[in-house]
Amino acid sequence: MPTTRFGRLTAALLLVAVLALGVTALAACGSDSSGATASSSPAASAASGAITVTDDEGNQVTLDKPAARIVSLAPANTEIVYAIGAGDKLVAGTTYDDYPAQAKSLPKVGDFNNPNIEKTASYSPDLVLAAGGIQDKLRTKLESLGMKVYVVDPKTYDGTIASIENVGKLAGAEDGAIQVGDKMTAAQQTVQAAVGDLPKATTFLEIYSKPLMTAGKGTYISDMIGIAGGENIGDQAGTGFPNFSTEVLVKDDPQVYIADSGSMSKPGDIKQRAGFAALTAVKDGHVYVIDDSTIARPGPRLADGLLSLARYIHPEASVSQ
Amino acid sequence: MSKLARTGVWPGILLAAGILAVCLVLALALGPAPLSVGRIWSLLFAGPVKGDLDNAIFWQIRMPRVLTAALVGAALAVAGVILQDLFLNPLTDPYVTGVSSGAALGATIGIVLHFSNLSATTVLAIIGGLGTLVLVWMAARRRGRIDVFVLLLAGVTISYLASAVVTVLMIKANQDMTQIIYWLMGSFSGRGWPDVTIALITIPFMALPLFFTREMDIMLQGEKRAMELGVEVERNKRMLLVTAGVLTALAVSVSGIIGFVGLVVPHIVRLLVGPGHRGLLPVSLLAGASMMVVADLLSRTVIAPNEIPVGVVTTFVGAPLFVYLLRRGRRA
């Protein structure tokens, strides 16, 4: 019995090997002819307008032609698409898309934290604009379903402009994207002209209050605080959006305290928090709440956020609109 | 009978009190903002002064935080002792009564409704916790008696129900999701004197069972036997349940849900001083406070200026200690 079984096994293996050899040989012959077309196809498609850009996670995204059906998975991405003038190509967005006003009437594929993959696929988009962080695992799933995914997850203010221009290329709205980028660069220049020579003011930006969370280094928010003439206290707590010790906050004594409106904090409450009465920012009245849609959404409205930051961090400089 | 029980409970209580005192001193002296021992000494005698940063760190941030941690730890440990003994179940922790989930629901509602005043959220948590206690109570009451097994099951069921509602609220109001998750994880970050005030309400409720240690000892032998021995089982049970429920609701409302202390501290103390409540209750109270104070100290210093969730630290500190004591207890 064992020998027969061994014999059968050998026979089966031999058969598989022969088949494999044959297939390889066939493939090799085929590749001779198809190799020519394969090497010529990028050139051909480049001529017909294939677009390749690298997204904020370092992945190359290639479209044969500008996208005509775009699904946005984040409010910021929706804002970008409308701002560059490609709003008519948006086929779906997410629950909290509220800017510009027409975004509210877009069909929704779920919310930012948990977009529905089936629903996204049902719009057969030729481009999906995803976000980083919580949507990290989404990309693989969407791509396995044949969708092209561009992740907007900039780490700096300039990176946001670059990402908007990439989306412009993919959506066939490059001119609009460049205009948006120019407007954002103009805001940056305005701010730099006004506060560039002023001493840096130590600034704390509150994302949440209980527990205290801030924007760490390597975030576009930290970058914007720097551009606006501030020194971000949160940088010492590491990257991303870390929690932050209240004791260290008081010890570092920021000159300016800015709460993201998403934290639901009010300036009056902030002043009354344990230990905050002694802060320089509180004593000097430099406690502000910033509209989170101009700072928590990496998109065109960061220009407004940057101007607000500069006004809060350096009220003595007159930052014009 | 363990050695301590024979020589009286006072050596154990005094030792636990000494340990707590050391923990409190360490927790007040150490923190992510470096303050020298001399500076702390002068701050301690200066009292709260307005406008001085070091003073604000010590009196407005560190002190209320340490005191809240101590009171919450003590309350959870006492509630744990009471409930483990009432249910005669070693896996019981203060959260099985559903009170904590009810409190979590209350706090979630507060967060979702955006009460800017944070103590409103705390009050809603207390209401949620005590409301759950009443519900569980009504479910378990039959012909004037409280059936502890029905109570246990009702508590677990209601806690699942409350968690389900919390999840729905989290999905509905997902801008607040992070805040809710952090609340559920439990923390002493940013706790101030108003939180201490609420936590101080636990003191009479922690003291109350100390007057009923004899009855609690007898009830360990089962309700029937306790009744034969002349203990008014129903009245004691009611008193103890309400005490444990109120302690849990107050603790959870100021700190969120911090695991492990209420489950493991009573066990550790039982291994050390035995099951007699005259020693078990006060030593658990002091040990719970010590453990929470140390856990919070580690949570705010180890990776400063970031913080580790305190529930993670209680588990990391408590689990190895518990396993060690369990093994040692077996051998003895």
**DSSP readout, B231-264?**
--HHHHHHHHHHHHHHHHHHHHHHH----SHHHH
Kindly report each contact of residues B156-161 with a partner whose C-beta sits within 8 Å and lies 24 or more positions away, as own/partner.
B156/B96, B156/B98, B157/B98, B158/B98, B158/B101, B158/B102, B158/B132, B159/B95, B159/B96, B159/B97, B159/B98, B159/B100, B159/B101, B159/B102, B159/B132, B160/B101, B161/B101
Q: Please tell me the distance in Å from A320's CA to the nearest CA on chain B.
A: 32
How do residues B13-69 score in pLDDT, each as one tens digit?
999 999 999 999 999 998 888 788 888 888 888 888 877 788 888 888 899 999 999
B38 touches chain A (CB under 8 A): no
Residue B329 is predicted with a pLDDT of 67
Q: How confident is the model at residue B318 (pLDDT cuts 50, 70, 90)?
A: confident
* A257 in contact with B, Cβ within 8 Å: no
Same domain assignment for residues A166 and A228: no
Contacting residues for A115 by C-beta, under 8 A, at least 6 apart = A73, A94, A109, A135, A138
The answer to whether residue A69 sits within a structural domain is yes
Number of domains in chain B: 1
Using a CB–CB cutoff of 8 Å, tell me whether B60 touches chain A.
yes
Report CB contact under 8 Å: B189, A273.
no
Based on the domain organization, do A162 and A254 belong to the same domain?
no
pTM beyond 0.90: the answer is no
Q: B124-153 pLDDT, tens per residue?
A: 999 999 999 899 888 888 887 888 888 888
Measure the CA–CA gap between A177 and A163, rounded to whole angstroms.
9
Cβ within 8 Å, pair B50-A274:
no
Chain B residue with the nearest C-alpha to that of A292: B175
* A88 located within any domain: yes
Q: Is residue A32 part of a domain?
A: no
A266 touching chain B per CB within 8 A: yes
Residue B332 touches partner A, C-beta closer than 8 Å = no
Q: When comparing pLDDT for B234 and A186, which is higher?
A: A186
Residue A10 domain-assigned (yes or no):
no
Chains A, B: CB pairs < 8 Å: 112
Q: Which residues contact A5 (CB under 8 A, 6 or more apart)?
A: none
Question: Nearest residue on chain A to B302, judged by CA atoms?
Answer: A245
- Tell whether B299 lies on the interface with A, counting CB pairs under 8 A: no
Q: Check whether residue A217 and residue A157 sit in a common domain.
A: no
Closest CB to A242: pick one of B179, B182, B306: B306
* B189 to A237: CB separation less than 8 angstroms, yes or no: no
Burial of A285: CB neighbours in 10 Å, binned 0-12, 13-18, 19+:
exposed
Res B330: pLDDT: 60
Which residues of B are less than 8 Å from A208 in CB distance? Answer: 178-179, 182
Query: Residue B144 corresponds to which amino acid?
Result: G
Question: Which runs of consecutive H residues, i.e. helices, occur in chain B?
Answer: 3-7, 10-29, 37-46, 53-55, 63-87, 99-112, 118-140, 148-172, 177-185, 193-200, 202-207, 213-219, 223-228, 233-255, 261-273, 277-301, 310-331
User: Domain holding B44: CATH number?
Assistant: 1.10.3470.10
Q: Which of A113, A212, A275 sits opposite B174 (nearest CB)?
A: A113
Cβ contacts (< 8 Å) between A250 and chain B: which residues?
A: 33, 53, 56-57, 61
- pLDDT higher than 70, residue B116: no
The whole-angstrom separation of Cα A139 and Cα A135 is 7
Domain match, A163 and A202 both: no
- Does the residue A241 lie in any domain? yes
Whether residues A278 and B56 touch (CB distance < 8 A) is answered with yes
Tell me which chain A residues have a C-beta less than 8 angstroms from the C-beta of B300: 245, 247
State the Cα–Cα distance between residues A234 and A219, nearest whole angstrom: 10
- Mean pLDDT per block of 10 residues along chain A (321 residues) reads 52 62 52 37 50 91 92 94 94 90 91 84 92 82 88 94 95 94 95 92 90 90 95 91 89 93 78 86 92 92 95 86 56
Under a CB-based contact definition with an 8 Å cutoff, are residues B73 and B289 in contact?
yes
Mean pLDDT of B188-198: 88
Which of B60, B253, B312 to mutate to test binding with chain A, by most A CBs within 10 Å of its CB? B60
Q: For residues B46 and B193, give the distance between their C-alpha atoms in angstroms, rounded to a whole number.
A: 18
CB-based contact A250 B53, cutoff 8 Å: yes
Whether residue A201 is found in the same domain as residue A308: yes
Taking CA atoms, what residue in A is nearest to B64?
A: A274
Contact present, B266 and B150 (Cβ < 8 Å): no
Pull the structure tokens for residue B135: 């519900």
Q: Which of B55, B59, B112, B175 to mutate to test the interface with A (most CBs of A within 10 A)?
A: B175
Boundaries of domain holding B172: 3-331
Mean pLDDT to the nearest integer, B282-311: 91
- Test the A interface: residue of B111, B300, B306, B308 with most A CBs within 10 Å: B306
pLDDT at A20: 62
Helix, strand, coil % over all residues of chain A, rounded to 5: 50, 15, 30
Last residue of some domain: A117, A138, A172?
A172
CATH number of the domain within which A85 lies: 3.40.50.1980
Residue A116 contacts B, CB cutoff 8 Å:
no
Q: Is B300 on the interface with A (CB under 8 A)?
A: yes
Spell out which residues of chain A touch residue B60, defining contact as CB-CB under 8 Å: 274-278
Among A250, A260, A265, A292, pick the best mutation site for testing chain B contact (most B Cβ within 10 A).
A250
Mutation pick from A247, A260, A282, A292 vs chain B, by most beta carbons of B within 10 Å, is A247
Q: Does B119 lie at the interface with A, CB-CB under 8 angstroms?
A: no
Same domain, A216 and A272: yes
Q: What residues of chain B lie within 8 A of the CB of A297, using their CB? A: none
Q: Same structural domain for residues A166 and A205?
A: no
Q: Does A217 touch chain B (CB under 8 A)?
A: no
Q: How many domains in chain A?
A: 2
For A67, which DSSP code?
Answer: -
Of A211, A242, A278, the CB nearest to B190: A211
Q: Are residues A119 and A219 in the same domain?
A: no
Residue A247 has its nearest CB partner, among B61, B116, B192, at: B61
Range of A73's domain? Answer: 52-172
Mean pLDDT of chain B: 87
- Residue A151 makes CB contacts below 8 A (sequence gap 6+) with A55, A56, A57, A59, A130, A131, A132, A135, A139
Whether the complex's predicted ipTM surpasses the cut of 0.90 = no
